[in-house]
Structure 1
Amino acid sequence: MRFSANLGFLWADRPLPDAIRAAKAAGFDAVECHWPYDFPATDVAAALQQTGLRMLGLNTRRGNPGENGLAALPRRGSEARAAVDEALAYAAATQTANIHVMAGFAEGPEAEAAFIETLRYACQRASDRTILIEPLNHYDAPGYFLSTTTQAETIIEKVGAPNLKLMFDCYHVQLMEGDVTHRLERLLPLIGHVQVASVPDRGTPDHGELNFPHIWQTLDRLQWSAPVGAEYKPVGDTDASLGWMLAV
């Protein structure tokens, strides 16, 4: 099993280029991030080249303070497209494989139409990259437009683009729907990235409701070969939290 360090949570106290170097030193196979835009893409690209790590994913901007994405917000289409363009440019400069287009706080048919329109734009513009959508649980992100894999499956079908995939975060899926094993099996053709954290505390993937040895075995059985995103919140120093990897 290979792992990607999510630098939105791991080594979050360090500048992104330094966090990339820390991930390499800790033995991760790749990295991913949330919002890298405070750091020049040239500095991030240099750290990636120096370490030999690949950046697997980044997010579109959240929007204004208090917002959590723009893509599903009616009458905000121009801002949503600008956020997509910015993410694509940063991804190109850093050779990042996937872009997570954040939906935002919204509901109803008008929001769905806005989301689909933005995703079609993103998929057309990102012909050589994968666009991801991620259901978020309603404890951490109440009011977020996309909250279940069932809803995401419908959106992917309606958009109809081969480079639109599901970000399957076992933490969010367990909180909202459960049945993680069967959902991984059924949704495998739609999944573009897998992430893990413990439930319900979003800590290291070695305790809580989820049976992580079984999840690793399931992913192996499904022949999932890409690095799995470690998107957990360490308690204290990140390096001191990495003992879970030794047991995988």
Structure 2
Amino acid sequence: MPRFAANLTMMYNEHPFLDRFGAAARDGFKGVEVLFPYAFPAAGLKARLDEHQLTQALFNAPCGDWAAGDRGLASVPGREDEFRRSIDTALEYARVLGNRRLHVMAGLIAADQSRERHREVYLKNLAYAAQAAQADGITVVIEPINTRDMPGFFLNRQDDAQAICAEVGASNLKVQFDCYHCQIVEGDLAVKLRRDMAHIGHIQIAGVPERHEPDIGEINYPYLFELIDSLGYDGWTGCEYRPRAGTSAGLGWLRRWL
């Protein structure tokens, strides 16, 4: 049976952020994820988790200046010190929140920049992040993201992400398999899930192409949920989608799985 976590950055936007924890719990969610928790003190977020008996399933390490266009630091040459500080900050939050999955965004690469240089920096930074997270039992995950939504993002394909993890060689470095991004870039989701499941650390879902609820669009999620169960995945499945209207009203798809 899948364990679903509500993404509180994208879902429940009809509520103030701190009220979204309670709204998700009332709808039956047992876990939550967020993109970036750093606008709020960790202790305050922990209190919301405890109040509503929720597990923090995932969040992202700081990505640089999002408003200025940053989409991660891990592969960006010249910002290695900033990347290390971002990991320190993320781990401080993870310890308080009890979070065991940390997503590290790769960042952007311009057309005239060296892909080999970015990859070299990426490997070194991921090795640092994995080693820093290991003492706390935290798994670092990297996510291929489609270039329609995020033009210029360094990591786009599942096979490349798996190769990078293998090259780093850290047992606590895995791939975040976002079905939405994978369908847009590659498709063939079931084959990739079968091929890579042993090295997948987190799964996310959304309808394709609009990124709404997973009961509309070109992906057969009931089939995939059964496949994922049969492959022995016992982690969280993050609902990283933008509701068509009210979040709670759009959760009819979830009822059969609760």
Q: TM-score, normalised by structure 1?
A: 0.97
Structure 1: runs of 5+ lacking an equivalent: none
How well do the aligned residues superpose, as a CA RMSD in angstroms?
Answer: 1.2
Q: Residue 10 of structure 2 contacts residue 242 of structure 2 at CA under 8 Å; is this kept in 1?
A: yes
Give the fraction of aligned pairs with identical amino acids, expressed as a percent.
40
Name which of 86, 89, 92 aligns with 1:86.
89
CA deviation after TM superposition for structure 1 residue 13, in Å: 4.8
Q: Are 2:246 and 1:237 equivalent residues in the alignment? A: yes
Distance 1:223 1:189 in 2: 9
- Give the 3-state SS of the residue equivalent to 1:37 in structure 2: coil
Q: Which moved more, 1:12-21 or 1:113-122?
A: 12-21
**Counterpart residue number, 2:22:** 21
- Give the 3-state SS of the residue equivalent to 1:199 in structure 2: coil
- Give the 3-state SS of the residue equivalent to 1:57 in structure 2: strand
Distance 2:148 2:24 in 1: 29
Distance 1:174 1:99 in 2: 23
1:30-76 CA distance string (max 9 Å, x none): 11110010011111000111111110111012212111011100011
Distance 1:227 1:70 in 2: 25
1:106-153 CA distance string (max 9 Å, x none): 260110111111111111110110000000001001100010101101
Q: Are 2:121 and 1:118 equivalent residues in the alignment? A: no
1:155-183 CA distance string (max 9 Å, x none): 10111100001000000011111110010
Distance 2:7 2:44 in 1: 18
Change (3 A) 1:13 1:77: farther
Q: Are 2:55 and 1:48 equivalent residues in the alignment? A: no
Q: Residue 29 of structure 1 contacts residue 227 of structure 1 at CA under 8 Å; is this kept in 2?
A: no
CA deviation after TM superposition for structure 1 residue 18, in Å: 1.7
**Counterpart residue number, 1:162:** 171
Amino acid at match of 1:217: E
Q: Are 2:78 and 1:75 equivalent residues in the alignment? A: yes
Amino acid at match of 1:120: A
1:14-39 CA distance string (max 9 Å, x none): 44432111111110121111001001
Name which of 108, 121, 143 aligns with 2:115.
108
Q: TM-score, normalised by structure 2?
A: 0.93
1:187-226 CA distance string (max 9 Å, x none): 0011001110011111100121111111111112112222
Distance 1:33 1:152 in 2: 22
Distance 2:207 2:47 in 1: 32
Amino acid at match of 1:56: A
Q: Which moved more, 1:127-136 or 1:17-26?
A: 17-26
**Counterpart residue number, 2:198:** 189
Q: Residue 30 of structure 2 contacts residue 53 of structure 2 at CA under 8 Å; is this kept in 1?
A: no
- How many residue pairs get aligned? The number is 248
Change (3 A) 1:83 1:15: farther
**Counterpart residue number, 2:62:** 61
CA deviation after TM superposition for structure 1 residue 85, in Å: 0.9
Structure 2: runs of 5+ lacking an equivalent: none
